[in-house]
Amino acid sequence: MQQEQISENLKKIETWKRIILMLIYAVIDSMVRLLLWLVILLQVGSVLLTGNTNPNILDFGRNLATYHYHILLFLTFSTEQLPFPFSDWNLIRDLELPSKE
């Protein structure tokens, strides 16, 4: 009986579609992490040179970090909602984030 269940699970096209999407998002996530490090370095440079964070970089970094979080939620099966580019970029604003203080 268990062998039959495994066989049925392996034949589900939805599972294979999700696995392919997970591989795509794993690659996208690698690029996002590189961009996050660039944002970190730019903010450090801004603080060293001006004494303040750059608000444009701050907003971009916040959005990028939220996108990274959304990808991780998808990769860990915590959500079925596909991250950008298969959904609206503004969808990341609906995710719970710590409030700005």
Domain boundaries, the chain: 19-94
Q: Which residue spans within the chain are E strands per DSSP?
A: none
- The helix (H) or strand (E) run that includes residue 11 is helix 2-11
Query: What are 63-98's pLDDT values in tens digits?
Result: 899 899 999 989 998 888 888 887 777 666 665 544
CB-based burial of residue 89 (10 Å sphere; 0-12 exposed, 13-18 middle, 19+ buried)?
exposed
List, for residues 20-51, the tens digit of each pLDDT value: 999 999 999 999 999 999 999 999 999 999 99
Ramachandran category for residue 54: left, alpha or beta (phi over 0 → left; psi -120 to 50 → alpha): beta
For residue 26, the model assigns a pLDDT of 96
For residue 100, pLDDT beyond 60 = no
Q: What is the pTM of this model?
A: 0.79
